[in-house]
Amino acid sequence: MSESVVKRSNKLGARVWTSIVIFGLMGQLAWMVENMYFSTYIQKQITAESWATSATVAASAVVAAIVTIFGGVWSDRVGKRKVFIAWGYIIWGLVTASFAFFGDEHFSQQDIVWVVTIFVVMDCVMTVFGSISNDAAFSSWITDVTDITNRGFVDVILSIMPVAALMIIFVGFDGLTQNGHWTWFFVILGGMTAIAGVAGLFLLKDSPSLRPDKSGKYMSEVVYGFRPKNVKKHKMIYICLVGMMLSGLAMQLWQPYMIMILQYTLGFGEGFIWPLAAVILLSAAMAVAGGKLMDKFGKDKFFYPVAAAGVLGGILVYLVKFVNNNMVATYILFIVGGTLVESASLLSAGLFNATARDYTPAEKAGCFQGVRIIIFVTLPMIIASIFCPIIINGFGPTVKEFGVAPAPGYFPIPQVSGGYKQGDTVYPFELFLFAAVVAALGFVPTYFVQRENKRFRAQKLNELHAEVQQPDSEQQEQPAE
């Protein structure tokens, strides 16, 4: 076996791949409802003021981190993932469906504070079950059933799931939200998540090598990944997670506002789904091809190109501001730039997340899920919730009159139900510019991980090769029956 090229990845089997696809996809459908459509619901039905969206994002991020820390260790100690995944998805879906009680009507100005407060509390409850089932148990299960020969591709496929979920929602269910039928939207998507959990009771199977890990006390294991000596011992895991954090932060600067940005800032109106679909399909195709190649030839060859793509993509979308509302140029810049941004995000997951799994001790897979969620999910969401209002209020023009552009480079704002109101601040192009700046910071962890990855990959491939040869040797030594 070559130290740099894998002729054939270890096969996972149909049952494992079915589980990966079902729970990866349904989990992302549920998270998409929270991460995008909760924000859109607040912006369109309650208030477009950025503090409301930021409060929801920040609160759920904190809850997700806490629950994943404790839940990951819990699944390690009992040596089970299936029960957490299946029952967690069932309850997760039911709580998501309960948002139907908010209804389809707009809320009055005097009700905004208490409505947002109740919304945030319910979001946190939903996040509890989503985090323990998906972020803690399912992510640990992925580490259990994969190895260095197939993790890059698996994690890229998983990174595509949010994109696939977005397309499914846009094609199948976005019409409900566009027509104000939020009740049915929440019921249907929540119900689908719950049904996946029921299927998991029969489909999911824990890894045969998974064993209960009670090497330390529960609380000691909870803080395992936060102790300085363990951070030093497993430093490459943390460097990978920092790379993921910067990639996630670049996305968080604009993704919660994506629908409004596409409709109004970029001027696509109600037809925004078509350029978005082009970006999603092109990005997914690039990610699948890249995932296969990185498992075969090594991740070290992809870190720098992926980081550069994220920077260039953000700059190209920002440049739409200077094309004087030329729709042809807008479409070209958005599709090219958006494809680079999205494919870079997808491939970063395959690179950094899979590499972090490679460095994770098998018996501590759950312990590191809490660290992962804090660095990769919580920090980007909290940082973005702080800086997004600053960027929006600092650079975004104010809607003063409908039917006219609020500022040079911006498209006219139509007076439509669920859009901006006079006096609102339009989400600016600068969100993409700052995303490019954050993506550029990703070259720092990229340098360290890329430098180490080639040597580490050769070591892991040799270990796997030895494990494969060992049973054959033992079998040859046994006398024939």
Residue 458 scores a pLDDT above 80: no
Q: Say what the pLDDT of residue 474 is.
A: 43
Average pLDDT score over residue span 344-361: 85
Helix (H, G, I), strand (E, B) or coil at 398: strand
pTM of structure: 0.74
Q: Say what the pLDDT of residue 464 is.
A: 61
Q: Say what the pLDDT of residue 62 is.
A: 84
DSSP string, 53-113: HHHHHHHHHHHHHHHHHHHHHHHHHHT-SHHHHHHHHHHHHHHHHGGGGG-SSPPPGGGHH
Nearest 5°: the CA angle 460, 462, 465 is: 110
Chain-centroid distance, C-alpha 38: 16
For CA atoms 284, 288, 291, 294, the dihedral sign is negative
Question: Tokens 């109740």 belong to which residue?
Answer: 118
Q: Say what the pLDDT of residue 463 is.
A: 63
Query: What are the pLDDT digits (tens) for 282-304?
Result: 998 998 888 888 877 777 788 89
Average pLDDT score over residue span 434-453: 90
**Bridge partner residues of 398 (DSSP):** 425
| Helix (DSSP H) and strand (DSSP E) numbers for the chain | 21, 0
Q: Say what the pLDDT of residue 331 is.
A: 95
The residue among 438 and 145 whose pLDDT is bigger is: 438
Beta-carbon contacts of residue 472 (< 8 Å; ≥ 6 apart)? none
Q: What is the dihedral of CA 116, 120, 122, 125, to 10 degrees?
A: -170
Q: Tokens for 266? A: 């970029």
Short-list 88, 92, 141, 61, CA closest to 366: 141
Average pLDDT score over residue span 372-383: 83
Chain-centroid distance, C-alpha 173: 20
Residue 370 scores a pLDDT above 90: no
Task: Supply the mean pLDDT for the chain.
Answer: 84
Average pLDDT score over residue span 44-52: 74
The residue among 369 and 271 whose pLDDT is bigger is: 271
Q: What is the distance in angstroms between the CA of the first residue and the CA of the last residue of the chain?
A: 32
Contact predicate 142/154, CB 8 Å: yes
Domains and CATH numbers, the chain: 14-203+216-470 (1.20.1250.20)
Q: Tokens for 151? A: 């993790």
Of the CA atoms within 13 Å of residue 86, those in its CB half-sphere come to 14
Name the band, by pLDDT with cuts 50, 70 and 90, for residue 360.
confident
Average pLDDT score over residue span 404-422: 85
Q: Say what the pLDDT of residue 309 is.
A: 95
Query: What are the pLDDT digits (tens) for 256-270?
Result: 788 889 999 999 988
Amino acid, res. 135: D
Query: What are the pLDDT digits (tens) for 65-109?
Result: 888 888 888 888 888 899 999 999 999 999 999 988 887 777 777
Q: Say what the pLDDT of residue 478 is.
A: 44
